[in-house]
């Protein structure tokens, strides 16, 4: 059970990092969607636990902003 908890804390970071370095626009969209789902899952897990840190939620908000920025950049690419 501990492994799952640790994994949920870090998997979204790895998925977002994978999206950030993706150059293929079609693959980028899939990677962004996977990162978004993982971020949503992590936020839900945080909100269900007592004593979650606002800093954790802020980090997830920054990650969401990064995803949105990457989506915008992908839209303007030829």
Q: What is the pLDDT of residues 32-46, one digit of tens each?
A: 999 999 999 999 988
Between 17 and 26, the more confident residue is: 17
Q: Could you tell me which residues come within 8 angstroms of residue 22 by beta carbon, excluding any fewer than 6 positions away? A: 28, 31
- How confident is the model at residue 78, as a pLDDT? 62
- pLDDT of the residue at 3: 47
Q: C-alpha dihedral over 23, 57, 52, 30, to 10 degrees?
A: -30
> The pTM is what?
0.84
Segments making up each domain of the chain, as ranges: 2-76
Per the structure block, which two tokens stand in for 77? 């690419």
Provide the token pair at 16.
């977002």
DSSP 22: -
Average pLDDT, whole number, for the chain? 88
């Amino acid at each position: 059970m501990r492994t799952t908890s640790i994994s949920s804390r870090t998997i979204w970071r790895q998925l977002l990092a994978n999206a950030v370095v993706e150059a293929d626009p079609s693959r980028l969209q899939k990677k962004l969607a996977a990162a978004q789902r993982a971020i949503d899952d992590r936020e839900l897990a945080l909100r269900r636990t007592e004593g979650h840190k606002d800093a954790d939620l802020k980090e997830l908000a920054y990650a969401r902003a990064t995803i949105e920025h990457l989506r915008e950049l992908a839209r303007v690419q030829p």
